[in-house]
Structure 1
């Protein structure tokens, strides 16, 4: 058996290529949208991708299953569980509990594992030349290392009211069924640490049923369904705005993108024309370079592993945008944008200094200056971390306005007072600073060192 775990650090998302080397057949589970990874891997290992499947209708990334099917001609095997409201709306071979997919000498048995979503399924793999016992389970967003999938996304991100309590009840029952599996079975989930699909995902890529029964909180409630549901729903992070769009696009017919696009480098004239008409400019440089000089009205979203998540929070799918990025960054950034279906880029510029524009600088302050604004009536301290972080420990009198929803809550920010923003260590505060400046706020200062330095120097924290 051939097995490959493919991991996208930018979204903490895992997909899998599993093959029968004797028959030369392979299946891909939960494909990302830049499918060349799977095509190259299959070619190098003398495999043909004959089957493609998913564990559920994803909310956190745009699945590449249809792109992969378009290129390879492989069949799509997708869940038909969960009722009529949870069906994929394009041609596929439907899967229900107990169905078996045969890939050469391998079989994948379908288990309906609702909770995260009603249609969620897992795949129990048996490598028949080695044993007739199952050896792996691919759980998607059902069981993670150290956690289980959150059932509140349909309500919080997709606006489907009344689903989180029912989902939590279903998750409790699914966990009880999972605990009956042999403890030696390897567990391969759909996400790792950093994903917004849970609140305490482990950093190791895989696990076993036995290990999860020992270390995963979800297996310690036994008959206490009420306690399980309370813990599961409490303290979940805020889901990014783009999740609702992913749910829609992953369920319905949509245009396919079977190759990684190459975006044009804009001339000075083309850029200035677009900028004058209000096209958003996303500056992907690091926060220190941005602070030293930035294009007026540009938004700083650094081109690191969090790039696609913050793009999904800040940029609407109907808006064109331009990137400020180096040539050598563009393929990586383009892939990250592809993976959340953000295809409306007009192009990019690789040097902001060559545009003939007067650049602005950010007002970054140190901890001593920050302290001078505390408890002043003419200053507003704004903590742009998420609610869970804020409630776990904050600076007294700091108000919480999460950066991801900042532009929806600008009425909470004073135009008359000195605004001083901070986050944990500066990345989110820089996004917030650029958004406030873009929206006409003049008196803004950024305590970029944030809670990290505040706590390291022993300053008081309110819980």
Structure 2
């Protein structure tokens, strides 16, 4: 038997290569957009990828099923309710696919989406009647369950997930392995998602707090209470994944500094992918800091990019920038206007202007901070984090909403930007500067949780502020 989990670490997605080397056949479940790894593994194991299985029409990332089918000739299989606009085999609950001694059985688990299907794996060379693993897709994760509001009514979705869990997945034997469609960091799950790559049904029954709720109404209430903000791009990605098949994609090309300035003037989003320290030290005016050296680049970009305008990339080098084109396409961002050739080196060689952002530690902030002073503090975490506790006198605006500033922020006074660790604050600080604040401070080496651990004063949540245009 061949069984490999392949992850897209930036988006927290997991896909699977399954097959039988003696039979020379394999399938891929939920392929990511970059397909080279599947092709390399197939060559290594000496198998032919003849089938592609989708658990559902994904809402958080663009599937690689079109590229993989074009490269291998494999047939795409998806539940009948998905109704995609590409050539496929539609299956129903209980359908089976034989891959030599490996057997894959469809287990319809609606909720996250109506067509959502888990896959049970059987090894006919051991016990043909007992599954050894379940690919649970976007229903059951390690430590949590799927969010119920992506392209479906959230109440209906939560009830569907509850019934799929209770009637189907949790009725499996305790030793059945759980291999999910996402790991911690994905937009498709809740705050309890673990970074562990797998679990078992028995362990999740015992330790997953969402599964301890056996009343449907209580489960729904809990699921809806934990919902984070709904990403603005999910409907566009579902539309891409339903077809026609996405086979080619955007190609980034090098730009001169003059061309980058022209693109900015035409409304392009300039995305600086370098480290936040490099960005703070010097960056092109009007650019936004989204480092590609940490997980979450694609998610942040999808929140901030306008799909009707170009994105121009600035990396540490040209290779960085070209690699980010794939990350952008994975979340459906295809209007890539190019990248700054030779990156900041070319910009500085032409002696073009740069902007800078001041860096300050949480301890330095504490020494200077007064709710009535001239320094303003903007907390760019999510609403649930703010409600759990924040620094008295600070302003709230999640980083992805900083296309506008809170109305209470004075652009003429210094603005410090804080989050939970310093990473979202880097993006937030660049957006605050882009909105017209000249004196911007990026709080680094910790954030609000560290402030609380140090025993400094905390305040309860407040109502959402009104906004004014940037």
Say whether the fold is shared (TM-score over 0.5): yes
Could you say what secondary structure the match of 1:205 adopts? Answer: coil
Counterpart of 2:181 in structure 1 is: 190
Residues 1:121 and 2:117 aligned together: yes
2:287 to 298, 308, 326: 298
Runs of at least 4 residues off by over 6 Å: none
Could you say what secondary structure the match of 2:171 adopts? Answer: coil
| 1:75–1:92 CA contact under 8 A, matched in 2 | yes
For residues 122-271 of structure 1, what are the structure 2 equivalents within 5 Å? 122-132=118-128, 133-154=130-151, 163-177=153-167, 178-199=169-190, 200-222=192-214, 224-253=215-244, 255-257=246-248, 263-271=252-260
Q: CA deviation at 1:269?
A: 3.9
CA distance, structure 1, for counterparts of residue 16 and residue 222 of structure 2: 30
| 1:175–1:218 CA contact under 8 A, matched in 2 | no
CA distance, structure 2, for counterparts of residue 103 and residue 410 of structure 1: 57
Q: How many residue pairs get matched?
A: 449
CA distance, structure 2, for counterparts of residue 66 and residue 77 of structure 1: 12
| 1:407–1:435 CA contact under 8 A, matched in 2 | yes
CA distance, structure 1, for counterparts of residue 448 and residue 360 of structure 2: 14
| 2:14–2:182 CA contact under 8 A, matched in 1 | yes
| 2:412–2:437 CA contact under 8 A, matched in 1 | no
Counterpart of 1:18 in structure 2 is: 18
1:360 to 332, 355, 363: 355
Q: CA deviation at 1:197?
A: 1.3
| 1:370–1:447 CA contact under 8 A, matched in 2 | no
Structure 1: gaps (5+ residues): 155-159
Q: CA deviation at 1:373?
A: 4.5
Could you say what secondary structure the match of 2:432 adopts? Answer: helix
For residues 309-363 of structure 1, the C-alpha deviation after alignment (integer angstroms, 9 at most, x for no partner) is: 1111111222212211113423542332232132322222222323421111113
CA distance, structure 2, for counterparts of residue 151 and residue 409 of structure 1: 30
| 1:115–1:174 CA contact under 8 A, matched in 2 | yes
CA distance, structure 1, for counterparts of residue 322 and residue 352 of structure 2: 27
Q: CA deviation at 1:79?
A: 1.2
For residues 233-258 of structure 1, the C-alpha deviation after alignment (integer angstroms, 9 at most, x for no partner) is: 21222233222321221123254227
Residues 1:62 and 2:62 aligned together: yes
Query: Could you tell me the TM-score, scaled by structure 1's length?
Result: 0.91
Q: CA deviation at 1:278?
A: 3.8
CA distance, structure 2, for counterparts of residue 346 and residue 30 of structure 1: 29
Counterpart of 2:437 in structure 1 is: 441
C-alpha RMSD of matched pairs (Å): 2.2
Could you say what secondary structure the match of 2:378 adopts? Answer: strand
CA distance, structure 2, for counterparts of residue 354 and residue 220 of structure 1: 61
Q: CA deviation at 1:416?
A: 5.3
Q: CA deviation at 1:77?
A: 0.4
Counterpart of 1:157 in structure 2 is: none
1:320 to 282, 306, 310: 310
Q: CA deviation at 1:139?
A: 0.9
Counterpart of 1:375 in structure 2 is: 371
Residues 1:76 and 2:76 aligned together: yes
For residues 29-83 of structure 1, the C-alpha deviation after alignment (integer angstroms, 9 at most, x for no partner) is: 00001111111110111010000011111111101112111221111101113xx
CA distance, structure 1, for counterparts of residue 400 and residue 270 of structure 2: 17
Residues 1:285 and 2:274 aligned together: yes
Query: Could you tell me the TM-score, scaled by structure 2's length?
Result: 0.89
CA distance, structure 1, for counterparts of residue 337 and residue 458 of structure 2: 44
| 2:251–2:336 CA contact under 8 A, matched in 1 | no
